[in-house]
Amino acid sequence: MTGEALFLGLLPLPPGAALCGREITDVVTTPDTASENALYVCLDTAVESGADGAPFAYARGCRSFLCARRLSLPSDADVLICEEPAALLGILSQRCYGEPARHMTVLGITGTHGKTSVARMLVAMLQGKGWRTGAVTTDGVVSPSGCVKTAGAIAPNAADLARELALFRKEGADFAVLELSAYQLRYEAHRGIAFAAVLLTNLEPHHIGKGLHPDREAYYAAKQKLFHTGAPIALLPSGFCEFAADGREVSYGEGGEIGMRGLTPCTNGPHIGYRFLLCHGGEEQPVFCPVPAPFAVRNLVAAASLALAAGMTLKEICETLTPFPHTGRMEPIASGGGRTVFLDTAYEEKALIRVLAALRTFFEGRVCVLLGSVGGRALSRRAPLGAAAVAYADFAYFTADDPDGEDPEQIFRDMVADVEDRARYRFIGDRKTAIEEAVGELRPHDVLLILGKATDETQLVAGKREPFCDRAVAREALARML
């Protein structure tokens, strides 16, 4: 694709601009990925200015740039200036990679909690139907062929999504499922993509006042962007009325157009969870959700709603729920001798309280929790999280959780700063030792909840990722007890 074809009608190019004769095969926003045939878009984010990377992109051979201001580059560089490069990034990227989003059905998911879980369940439903489906979530990328790529430190922008969709197209994708955070939507990651249906999981006043979203209005406005992409179907939680959508609004959840009723805690073989009826258009189908938490049921109904929008029947959806695909949220990883170990990714006070309360519905013994907090950030979450762990669990084990360059013991002290009852918690700095001791102290009918690294198999220490797997350590520790 030539530069002329790429930019024609989108940017005011002067007659005879050298860029028009230069082939553009890639659109990048980081200088280390720039090359001779790349367009480097100076994308500003909350932590850096894209213009600062332009000289480094030039040094790698890049000669085509899009920026909101003039750049001090040699005369052989073509610099196009527009007011909002982020607003054009998605459109340019989609065009550069052959409009991949137009060759598959794209489903978008946003919300405060549950996005990844909904995306994972939806992918399993669509694949169970026999449709080739890829997904981009917080956890990473799953291609239609099943290849998995772990997420990086930075959320995908519009160029990254276009690149992944192009790869999905090569694998013959029928569907693409995209999870979009408020951060991504704020920086226009959704631009250039024609969504067939979009869904909101929930909307709570989190992630505000941390440099990303200054207030509730800004956070909600970022989320609302996904619902103004022209998607013909907008799926919203029952009773939600915070904003309007471009397409037909369909409610889901208890009392919704796509509804549920008869929620009942129960067991199903080795699994514990909830039974309920999934309802739509006068039809009802029984469902078992093998996760002992009401939020998992809400996520399941959300995923089913998108599957219905994609063309599946209620019966097909229920048939594809076996085996139930869940990882990281209330995930049972080991059991024996009446003892059970769960993994979960709760990282803030209210989420932890909900998880612990859900476990008490099903277990008559002690509910214990093992947790830490990441180093170098999330300082304001530490004390509330630690206080909730001690107050709502019978015993809390504090340990390292990606401490990076920070002392795990200092993180622990921050977490228990507001806790007076020292008899209900203990600090064990080494995570492996902490898990082994926590599992070893379980009694029959007790449950242990391990937090923080449910979907991760590394530990970040002093800037290095070291192999570490909570699942393996917990399972081995429990096996030694039996």
Residue 59: per-residue pLDDT: 97
Residue 370: per-residue pLDDT: 97
- β-strands 258-268, 271-280: how paired? antiparallel
> What are the tokens at 138?
């917080």
Residue 201 · residue 108 · CB < 8 Å: no
Residue 9 confidence class, pLDDT cut points 50, 70, 90: very low
| Range in 56-70, 143-157, 322-336, 421-435 with the lowest mean pLDDT | 322-336
Residue 139 confidence class, pLDDT cut points 50, 70, 90: confident
Helix 294-310 / helix 115-128 crossing angle, nearest 10 deg:
50
Cβ-Cβ contacts under 8 Å for 157 (sequence gap 6 or more): 29, 43, 86, 89, 184, 187, 188, 189
The answer to whether residue 4 scores a pLDDT higher than 60 is no
pTM, rounded to two decimals: 0.82
- Higher-pLDDT residue of 169 and 117 is 169
The answer to whether residue 373 scores a pLDDT higher than 80 is yes
The answer to whether residue 1 scores a pLDDT higher than 60 is no
Q: Give the pLDDT mean for 305-324.
A: 89
Q: Give the pLDDT mean for 390-394.
A: 96
At 416, phi and psi to the nearest 5?
-105, 20
Residue 145: per-residue pLDDT: 94
Query: Helices marked H in 97-196 — which ranges?
Result: 115-128, 158-170, 182-186
pLDDT tens profile 234-256: 999 999 988 889 999 999 999 99
The answer to whether residue 354 scores a pLDDT higher than 50 is yes
Q: How far is CA 123 from CA 130, 144, 429, in A?
A: 11, 10, 38
Cβ-Cβ contacts under 8 Å for 332 (sequence gap 6 or more): 271, 272, 340, 341, 342
The answer to whether residue 197 scores a pLDDT higher than 70 is yes
Radius of gyration of the chain (CA): 24
Q: Is 402 buried (19+), middle (13-18) or exposed (0-12) by CB count in 10 A?
A: buried
pLDDT tens profile 13-71: 333 333 446 788 899 999 999 999 999 999 987 778 899 999 999 999 999 999 998 99
**Closest by alpha carbon to 303, among 49, 123, 130, 67?**
123
Residue 457: per-residue pLDDT: 83
Residue 124 · residue 326 · CB < 8 Å: no
Residue 291 confidence class, pLDDT cut points 50, 70, 90: confident
Q: Give the pLDDT mean for 172-195.
A: 95
Residue 445 confidence class, pLDDT cut points 50, 70, 90: very high
Residue 264 · residue 274 · CB < 8 Å: yes
Helix 408-415 / helix 379-392 crossing angle, nearest 10 deg:
60
Residue 156: per-residue pLDDT: 94
Average pLDDT, the chain: 88
- Higher-pLDDT residue of 426 and 323 is 426
Residue 307 confidence class, pLDDT cut points 50, 70, 90: very high
Torsion of CA 360, 337, 398, 181, to 10 degrees: -60
SS3 143: coil
The answer to whether residue 154 scores a pLDDT higher than 60 is yes
Residue 454: per-residue pLDDT: 67
Residue 32: per-residue pLDDT: 94
Amino acid identity of residue 67, one-letter, is C
Residue 150 confidence class, pLDDT cut points 50, 70, 90: confident
| Range in 3-7, 188-192, 316-320, 340-344 with the lowest mean pLDDT | 3-7
Strand 395-398: give its sheet, edge to edge.
331-336, 339-344, 447-451, 367-371, 395-398, 425-427
Q: Give the pLDDT mean for 270-283.
A: 90
Residue 394: per-residue pLDDT: 96
Residue 337 confidence class, pLDDT cut points 50, 70, 90: confident
Residue 318 · residue 117 · CB < 8 Å: no
